[in-house]
Structures are given as structure tokens and as C-alpha cells.
Structure 1
Amino acid sequence: MRRIGIWMYQNGGGDLIEKKIVDRLKERGIEAVTGLNLRQAYVENGTTICNGTKMEELDLFFSYNAGEQTQYQMFLYEALDRVVPCINNFRSFALTEDKFQTAHLLRNNGVPTADFRLCHRDDSARLRQFMREWKQMVYKPTDGWGGVGLTKIDSQETLDMLMPFLNQMDLRFFYVEKFIDYDNTDYRVDIVDGEYIGCYGRKAGGSDWRTNVTSGGSVFLREPEDAVVELALKAAKVTGLEIAGVDIIYDRSKEEYIVLEVNGIPAFAIPEQEKIGLDFNDKKIDKIVDLIDRKTKK
């Protein structure tokens, strides 16, 4: 019997999703060990032991928990990925955790993104130059998620007020994007193993410009155009993610769709969202099980 490990988020219906995955894997003769939080692991002479499980003896490790990632877990995830197949593979997952590295790779492979710039932390003169050219820009922590830390800079005065705060954070560099003229909605497109799974829209709440649900945004049903799906498929392929959630918006000034972010742990629809018609969970589960099945066959 094949044996895999799972570490999956439990809130928002994640526990029910995990149970469905485990049950469907069992139907294929694949045993799943759950709750393998690498924060609780230690390594002894080449063996990573997590809650009594020797991780290197697994046929695959499925890591799917964005909210509880720590540097220690990422460190062990990287080491484990060199010995055991992981989903997502660590190289692609680590890439998409970094907004600059992701945008840089996408642009160099012909995928449109927001205009972006990176400069050294001591090069404040260049940052002010960017502000003069763009008029409005967004400061983004390269490793943030859920809209945390995003700061809209719409004047030189705002930038001057922000600089001391950023300097106190001891950042090595500044990553900024030109503020996009869009309708305050986006597409979140789910891709698994190179196949389109589903899509929904998100809308910024009130006067906010961020669509993230954690920032007050709301979810609504949305059918994507073919161009949106093709763009999401290309972005997932370029980054190498087996499971991807691609955020896409329409740039009204350039009159084109652009990729805003690529997420390596896109959440399943929560029960409340399923009630309004988001019905792609079962398709996503089946495709993930297919992917695990294929990757663990000897």
C-alpha cells in the first residue's frame, strides 16, 4: 500500500475537505497520514520524524496550509522535497511566495503583470523617481499574503511618511508596483495539474481597493472569459505549480488582463460560498487525488 502524508488547514471547512481527500485516496489503495505539521518535527541522522512518522519513508507529502507556515517548516519542507515527492514541489512553492521573483519570471515568459520595480533599500532617490513617474504605486512585502502589508502610495507626502517606517523594518530592498486602474474586482482562477478547475470573483469592500477577503473583500460568482483561463493556465505552467490560484485583473489603461499574483495554496470554497453556488470543490479534490495517484505509482 502506498502511504502519503498530509498537512492541511482545518478552518473554513478544511477538515471536511481533508476527509474527502483521505477517503478517495483510500479507494485507490493509498493510505494517508494526516496532521503532519513540520513545526512539530525534528531531524535525526537523515530522518525527519513528525508525530511518530518517518517522513522520508512516505511516498509523497501534500502540504496545504498557508496560515500556519513558519520558517522552520519551510526549511524542513525544502530538505524533504529533495528526498520525497511533494505537492506543491518546493521550488515552485518558494518562488510564488516571493512576489518579485514571481513577477520577474512571468514577465520574462510573456505573461503580463503590473509594472513593477525593485531597488536597494538605500536608494530612496530612485523610489521618489518612481513616484514622480507613476503618480500612484503600491508597496508590497515580497513574502506577504492575504493583502497584509499592502500600502497604496498616492503622493510624495505619503511616501515621505512611509520611508521611516520601512527603514525601521530593516528591509534589504523595496518592491513596488504601479497602481492599476481597475474596477476593484478580480478573478481567482484555480488550476490543478495543468487543468482549469474553477473561478470566482472578489470585490473590494467599501472604499478599500484590495479584493482580499481578509481585507474586507467579498466573493461572488463569476464566469471567466477564455482569455482569463488561458492566462491563468500559462501563469501556472511558467511557475511550475501543480496546484495554483491565479489572481487576474483587467487593466483599464492598457486594456488587457494581467496576472496580479500566483498563490501556491488557493483555498477551497468554504461552506458559505458553496451555498451561493461555488461548486468546484469536488472537481478540485478529484484532480488532486488523480495527481497524488499518478505521482506515487511505482
Structure 2
Amino acid sequence: MAREIGMWLYSNGGGDKIQKKIVKKLKERDIETVTDINLRHAVAKNGHILHDKLKIDELDLFFSYNAGEQTQYQVFLYQALNRVMPMINTYDAFALTEDKFQTSFLLRQHGVATPSFKLCHRDDGHELKKIIKKWDKMVYKPTDGWGGVGLTKIESEATLDTLLPFLNQMDLRFFYVEKFVKYDNTDFRVDIVDGEFVGCYGRKASGTDWRTNVTSGGSVFMREPNDDIINLAKKAAKVCGTDIAGVDIIYDLEREEYVVLEVNGIPAFATPEQEKMGLNFNDKKIDLIVDLIDRKTKK
């Protein structure tokens, strides 16, 4: 019996062309693909999750790869589907990498260097003041943000005093802060699929910002990783249980070591503009994803 998988891939930034390539390569292996399954338009009833008339839960695998359009409803259905069918990434890996604190905590438990961090209750302003005295500078991070959104650099007690009432208004139950790492305002974004190194590029913060995220004004440039960086990225991806991961790594100038800033479960493919620049890892990434889907759907 032919295998059939469901897929929801972002279409902007060349994603539509990537999808066509994946579908074509899967077809060559007798795997059919139902595309554009946006769980926002799905309904759960009587033990099935339906998208139009398709019973998603009866497919052989679901591949969800769209960071920009996730809603709580979709994530809730993602979790339910993963109880009954294979997913890429698994719901557990997805949920873990969406949460900065849980990711950093687990990485540290497994000996992977990350910036020093602290999670404390929102009423514990005293603890936060102790931390800023000790660290000098720190970064407030929403535990569930992406693309650098909501990151706030706290450089003094005065900044902290200004920020606390604002954060309290947002009805947050806890604060996650990281020690600000002294670095050269560039990072490495390393793509890993199925435990294999796919490719790497660098990102550089703009002159007015310290964040390297492209959505925060950062720019992409060609960059070769060394073995230490590749091995660190592979280890981080493995610890997080991700089939696909983009691992953000910076060099800590004070500790003189590479540290993992973030593990992203939905790292973008190289855009057409980036490919023109010389970023040529898309085909390798597609091949590894197709191999992974083939393996996970073998009856």
C-alpha cells in the first residue's frame, strides 16, 4: 500500500519551490504528499482530526514546517496528532525548542555551554536586582518568542526599575534572564538534519542593534564553521530531540568558548537571494529530510 504524508511548509522566501522539490523526491520513492495542511482549518471530532474531508490522523506522517503562522489551536492539535502518528519534529521537540528556559536548562544538564541564566518568579524583584549587580548586563527573554521579538537588554538597575512595571502589566508569571555575553556581534547559524551537518552561515547585528536576528535588522554572510562548532550544534540538536534544528552559536569573549544561544526547530531554508550569495545547502537539506520521511514511514 502506498505511503501518504501530510505537509505544511511556509511558502514565502522560496518555500513554495522547496515544497515542490520535496514532493517530487518523495514521489520518486512512491510516497504521496498532501500539501498545505494548515491545522488552523482542521476540526477534531469523534477520534479523528479532519482537514476538509481528509483524516489527517490516518496519514503515515505529518511534517509541519511553518514558524510564522503557529497559533495555540494548531499547536494543541499538533500535540494530539503526535500521540497517534509520527511527526517531524516531534511535538516534544517542538515544544521544548519553543521555550528558551526549558532548552537552556536541558542543554546545561547535558554539558552544553549556554549563557548563564536565571528563572525567577515575577514577584521576586529583589532576586533580579541581585542578579543585575552580579552580572552587570543581562537580557530579558520571553520564554516563547522567536526572531528576536521581545528581547530586552538590561544594562543597569535603573533600566530594570523601568522595565518591571511594564512586565507586570503583561501578566507574566515568571522572568527568564540571561547574562549578556560579550561577543563580536556575529553568530553562527548551523543547520542539522537527522544528526547530520547540513550547512552554516553567519549573521551580523546592524550597527544600532546587538541582536543578530534578520527580523531585528541583522544581515546574513558566508561563514565556515570549525569542527568544534559543528560538534556543538550536533550535540545540542540531539539533546533537544530535534529531527531538524538550526542551532545559534556565539563565541563568548570572556569565557573564551562557544556557547549555544538557541535551538530553533524550524530553521528556514536559504532564500533565493541567499543562494545567489553562495549559500548552497538547500539540496542537501531536502535530501536528508526526504531520507528521514522515508525512514519514519517504513511499514
Per the normalisation by structure 1, the TM-score is 1.00
Aligned counterparts of 2:162 and 2:53: Cα–Cα separation in 1: 51
Whether the 8 Å CA contact 1:120–1:172 is kept in 2: the answer is yes
Aligned counterparts of 1:232 and 1:53: Cα–Cα separation in 2: 37
Deviation, structure 1 residue 53: 1.4
CA deviations on 1:9-61 (whole Å, 9 max, x unpaired) are 01000011001000100000000000100000001111000132101110000
Tell me if 1:229 matches 2:208: no
Tell me if 1:168 matches 2:175: no
1:118 corresponding residue in structure 2:
119
Aligned counterparts of 2:16 and 2:161: Cα–Cα separation in 1: 46
2:192 corresponding residue in structure 1:
191
CA deviations on 1:142-190 (whole Å, 9 max, x unpaired) are 0000000000000111110001100000001000000000000000000
Aligned counterparts of 2:71 and 2:142: Cα–Cα separation in 1: 16
1:127 corresponding residue in structure 2:
128
Number of residue pairs matched by the alignment: 298
1:253 corresponding residue in structure 2:
254
Aligned counterparts of 2:121 and 2:278: Cα–Cα separation in 1: 46
Tell me if 1:159 matches 2:163: no
1:88 corresponding residue in structure 2:
89
Mark the runs of 5 or more structure 2 residues left unpaired by the alignment.
none
1:294 corresponding residue in structure 2:
295
DSSP-derived class of the 1:133 partner: helix
What one-letter code is carried by the residue in structure 2 that aligns with 1:110? G
Aligned counterparts of 1:271 and 1:277: Cα–Cα separation in 2: 10
Aligned counterparts of 2:255 and 2:240: Cα–Cα separation in 1: 24
DSSP-derived class of the 1:259 partner: strand
2:273 corresponding residue in structure 1:
272
Q: Which runs of 4+ in 1 moved over 3 A?
A: none
Aligned counterparts of 1:21 and 1:46: Cα–Cα separation in 2: 30
Aligned counterparts of 1:260 and 1:226: Cα–Cα separation in 2: 18
Whether the 8 Å CA contact 1:36–1:51 is kept in 2: the answer is no
Whether the 8 Å CA contact 1:186–1:249 is kept in 2: the answer is yes
Q: Percent sequence identity over matched residues?
A: 72
Mark the runs of 5 or more structure 1 residues left unpaired by the alignment.
none
What one-letter code is carried by the residue in structure 1 that aligns with 2:168? N
Aligned counterparts of 1:267 and 1:46: Cα–Cα separation in 2: 33
1:44 corresponding residue in structure 2:
45
Aligned counterparts of 2:79 and 2:253: Cα–Cα separation in 1: 40
Deviation, structure 1 residue 207: 2.0
Aligned counterparts of 1:150 and 1:15: Cα–Cα separation in 2: 30
1:242 corresponding residue in structure 2:
243
Aligned counterparts of 1:270 and 1:52: Cα–Cα separation in 2: 33
**Range moving further from structure 2, 47-56 or 234-243:** 47-56
What one-letter code is carried by the residue in structure 1 that aligns with 2:292? L
What one-letter code is carried by the residue in structure 2 that aligns with 1:51? D
Aligned counterparts of 1:269 and 1:165: Cα–Cα separation in 2: 37
RMSD: 0.5
DSSP-derived class of the 2:238 partner: helix
What one-letter code is carried by the residue in structure 2 that aligns with 1:269? A
Aligned pairs for 1:12-31 (under 5 A) are 12-31=13-32
CA deviations on 1:239-267 (whole Å, 9 max, x unpaired) are 00000000000000000000000000000
Aligned counterparts of 1:61 and 1:91: Cα–Cα separation in 2: 14
